[in-house]
Chains A and B, each alone.
Chain A
Amino acid sequence: MPKLIKGVGCPYCGSSCDDIEVLVSDDETKILEVHNACIIGTNLFHHANDATRPKLPRMRQPDGSMKEIPYDEAIDWMAKTMLKAKKPLIYGFGSTNCEGMSAVGRIAEKSGAVLDNCATICHGPSFLAIFDNGYPSCTLGEAKNRADVVVFWGCNPMHAHPRHTSRYSIFPRGYFTQKGQMQRTVLCIDPRETDTAKLADHHLMLDQGHDYELFDAFRTVLRGFEIPETVAGIPREKIKESVEIMKKAKFCMIFFGMGCTHTDGRNHNIDHAISLTRDLNNHTKCSIMAMRGHYNIAGPGQVWSWQFGFPYCIDLSKGSHAHMNPGETSSVDLAMRDEVDCFVNVGTDAGAHFPIQAVQHLKKHPFITIDPNFCMASEIADLHIPVRIAGVDEPGVVYRMDNVPIQFRAVIKGLPGVPSDEELFDRVYERMCELTNTQPIWLAAKEHRKYPHNPVVS
C-alpha cells in the first residue's frame, strides 16, 4: 500500500511550505505523487526517483574522465586536500539542512577555511544593510494575519516563490484579514510588468536602477517634505498616494528581493528600505522582509552566526579568530583574486552562478562538489561526492525566509551507502583528526548520535 505523508516541507524556495502531501511507495523508496506543492517543488520531489542519481563519489582521472571511487577514498582525499590547502573556500548551503552547516564548521576551523554561503551572491547586500541599520521584521504569519497593505519591491514571488502569495501575502484569509485579497492593498514596485505587478492594485513602474531615489522620495514625503514632479520616472502624485496608503495601513508589510539588492545602490537600497520601515513605525505598524531564495538559505546565516558571530564571508584562516569583511572575504572576490587554493561547493552550483573568470581561477586548484545531483559544478569538479537530499531522503532543520525553523522530514529512504551532508562532514572531520593526530571535539549534539551506517555499495 502506498503511504500518504502529510505536513511535508518542500525543498525549493524560501517559502519553505510545510503543507505538502507526498504519496510514497510501500517500501518507501519511490515518490509516487506530490500534492499541494508548486510545479517546481513537485519536480524536486520527483527528481529523487531518478535512477541515474549518483550513488558513489567520482574522481577526475588524469585523462579527464570521471571514475567512481568508494566513499572512504573520497573522504580521505577531501581531508588531505583541505588540510594541505592554505586557504580553502567552502561555499554554498542554500539547499541543505542546518545539521550539515553545523558539521561543516568543524572542518572549516580545522582546515582554516573561508566559509561562505549563497547569500554572498544574492542577499549579501541585505546583510550589509542589516549590519548598518537593523532589521524590523516579523514572521510570515504576522503578515498573513494582519497586513492590509503589502508592498513587493524588486521581487516577483509569482515566479520565484510561487506559493508565497497564496500562503502568506496576497490571497490567504488571516485572523484579522478574513476577506483575504479583498482586504489587502498590494503595491508592486518593479521596472517590469511582472506577474506580481499584474496582481497589484498599484504598480509603480520605476526607471530601472533608480530604487534608491524612489525610497528617498517615499521617506521625504512621509516626513512631510516636497519632492520633484517625477522621481525615478514616477509622478509625484503617485508617490504621495502610495505613501498615504502605507501610512494609513493598520499593518504594512514590505517584501524586497534581488531587484533591490542587485541594482545600483545595492545595500544602500536596503538600508533606505529599512529606514522607511522604521519611519512608518512612527505612524503605524510596519515590517520588512527579504525574499530569501532557497528553502534553507536563511539557515547558514543563523548557524554560523551562533557559531562564529557572522552570517557569511567568514574567514577562519587566521586560526585564532573569525574575520568577516565582504569584498575581501567574499567568495567571488576571493576567487577573482585567485586567493583560495581549494574550493568546496556544497548544495549549490557555483559552476552555474559565479562569473566565468572566478570559476576559471577556482578550477586551477582542487575543486570538490558535494551535491545529490549532477550539476555544472559537479561536472567540472575534481571530486564529486553525492549526498542525500535534505527534505526528501534526509530530515533536518531548515530556516524559512522569516527565520522560522521548520523541522523537515525524510519522506523516502536514502540511497544505500549515500551519507547525509552532516555524516559526510563528520567523517571528513574524523579523518582530518586522524591525519593531524588530534582528538575530535564533538559537543552534546553529537555524543549520543549514532548514524545508521548504511552498507557501502560494492
Chain B
Amino acid sequence: MSDRTNRWFVWPDELRRRGILGINQRNVDYIGALNPRLLYPRVDNKLVTKGICQAHGIPVPDTYFVLDKQSDVTRFMQTLGDRSDFVCKPASGAGGRGIVVISSREGNFFITPGGRVISGGDLRYHLATTLSGLYSLGGQADEVIVEQRIVNHPALSDIVVGGTPDVRVIAYRGVPVMAMTRLPTEASGGKANLHQGAVAAAVDLVSGRTFGGVCRDRTVEKHPDTGVPIIGIEIPEWRRLLTAAMRLADALEMGYVGIDFVIDVAAGPVVLEANARPGLAIQLAHREGLVPRLKFVEERIAHGAGHEDRWKIIEKLCDRFGQARPLPVGEQALL
C-alpha cells in the first residue's frame, strides 16, 4: 500500500482502468467528433452565446451596453451614466482573463469587490487594450460587454474568499454527465479558473450537493485559504440549472460542451459562458474518470430525447456511478 500512496506518477493502465479521459482522447474522440468547427463562434464569442441563450429563454446576466470601437471607450463615462455596479468582460476572452468587476463607485473612481480602487483613466485604458485584442484568441480585435454584476447567492457566499464562484456542467449529447462548482482563491485572484489556482468541488447531478474536491490538480476537501470544508454544500435551484444546461447544449448543437453558470441571489442560475474545450480536472474533483459516464450516456441516449428521458438517464447515471465514494484501490476499479 505504501508504494501507491506517495507516487509522483501513475501508469497509463491505472488511468485507463479508472476511465480517465486524457486531453488527446478528449480532443479526437469527443471535441473533434462532436463539436463542428463551424459552430465554435457560438461559444468563443460571449455575445453570440448570450444571444442564443436569450433566444431560448435561458437566463443570462443583463447586458447594459457593448463597446466595439475605440471611440466607445472615449464616451464610456457618458454611456455608463451613474451605474456603480457592473462587469466589463471581453467578448472573446478565455479563462476569465480581462474581466473587471466593479461593485461600487466614488465619482470617477471604481472599486472592485476585493476593495481595489481603479481610476476612470485606468479603466478606460483597460477597455481600450481589451478592444485591441489583448485577451482575445489570436489577438484579433475584440468587443467589451458591460453587464449586470452577479451578487453571490448566500448558499455559496459563505465559502468564498473573493470573487464569484461558478458551476461548470459538462453536457454530453445534451445530457449533463459531470458538474462541479469552482471557488476562487487568493491564488486565483478572484477568478473561478482552475488552472489559475481556484478550488473546485464535484456536484452530485441528482441532489446538487457538493463532494470530492480539487485544487491545482491535487485532491482536497477544504478551501485552501479558509480551511472551510467545501463538501456537502447544496447548490440552489439545481434542477433549474441542469434544465438550462440541457437546453443550451441543444441550442449550441455541440455534443461535448462545458457550460458555466453563476447563481445570482435574485435571478438564480444564469449562464456566463460555454466552452467547447472543457478541462479535465473535473475528474479529479469527482475522483472518477469521465469515460465510463460518457459511454453510459452514449448507450442510452436516443436522438431527440426529451428532458424527462434525460433526467431518467441522469438518475441512473448517479445510481451507477454514485458520489463521494472513496477512491477505488487496486482491483476494486470502477470498470
The reply to whether chain A is a binding partner of chain B is no
Which A residues are within 8 Å of any B CB, using their own CB?
none
Which B residues are within 8 Å of any A CB, using their own CB?
none
